[in-house]
């Protein structure tokens, strides 16, 4: 079996499914995402995926700069897919949530998110909407992923994409 190389988002450690993880999340207005969608002429899923993949890229670039300084550069190259979950670096899942406010035992629910557990990935990203708010939840391997830097890179990606979209004066047309 051939596995992916070690990278800033894939430790290669055995047994990570039983290691401690940290949770962090980012909340975005669905209206803001719809603005970006309209300006770019794409789907909401395109916007969200673009933000996540750009955020991961920013994190990997920043962390690779640190590893270059210590003379060890990790380059991820997918070789053979043998066991998708066993060799995966990141899992991304999404779920459309309720569009109206909910309550549990007469206590209003202010936010809702989900995450996955038990897998060997070092990063799990889940996306769920709840009453016009989209929450991106990041579950990262504690001690390997710098969760504050990872979250910062995600937020930076969102800012960059939003600014670039708002700078567009015409809506692109599909040919």
Residue 35 within any structural domain of the chain: yes
Residue 84 has pLDDT above 90, yes or no: no
Total number of domains constituting the chain:
1
Residue 134 within any structural domain of the chain: yes
d(CA 166, CA 146) in angstroms, rounded, equals 30
Residue 78 has pLDDT above 60, yes or no: no
User: Tell me, what's the pLDDT at 11?
Assistant: 80
d(CA 118, CA 110) in angstroms, rounded, equals 27
**Stronger pLDDT, 110 or 70, i.e. the higher one:** 110
Residues spanned by the domain of 90: 20-59+85-166
Residue 12 within any structural domain of the chain: no
Which residue is associated with the tokens 């979950």? 85
pLDDT tens digits for 142-160? 998 999 999 999 999 999 9
Residue 89 within any structural domain of the chain: yes
Strand pairing report for 107-108 and 103-104: antiparallel
Instruction: Provide the CATH number for the domain around residue 48.
Output: 3.30.559.30
Tokens found for residue 39? 């300006």
Residue 64 within any structural domain of the chain: no
Note the helical H segments in the chain: 30-40, 44-69, 84-87, 147-166
Average pLDDT, the chain: 79
Residue 50 within any structural domain of the chain: yes
User: Tell me, what's the pLDDT at 27?
Assistant: 93
């Amino acid at each position: 079996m051939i596995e992916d190389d070690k990278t800033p988002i894939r430790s290669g450690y055995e047994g990570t499914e039983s290691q401690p993880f940290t949770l962090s999340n980012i909340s975005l207005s669905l209206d803001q995402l719809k603005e970006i969608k309209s300006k770019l002429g794409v789907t909401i899923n395109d916007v969200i995926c673009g933000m996540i993949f750009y955020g991961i890229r920013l994190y990997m670039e920043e962390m690779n700069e640190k590893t270059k300084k210590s003379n060890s550069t990790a380059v991820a190259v997918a070789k053979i897919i043998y066991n998708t979950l066993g060799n995966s670096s990141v899992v991304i899942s999404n779920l459309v949530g309720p569009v109206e406010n909910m309550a549990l035992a007469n206590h209003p629910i202010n936010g809702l998110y989900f995450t996955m557990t038990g897998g060997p990935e070092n990063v799990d990203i889940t996306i769920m909407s709840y009453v016009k708010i989209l929450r991106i939840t990041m579950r990262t391997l504690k001690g390997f992923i710098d969760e504050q830097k990872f979250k910062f890179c995600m937020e930076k990606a969102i800012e960059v994409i939003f600014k670039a979209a708002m700078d567009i004066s015409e809506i692109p047309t599909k040919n």
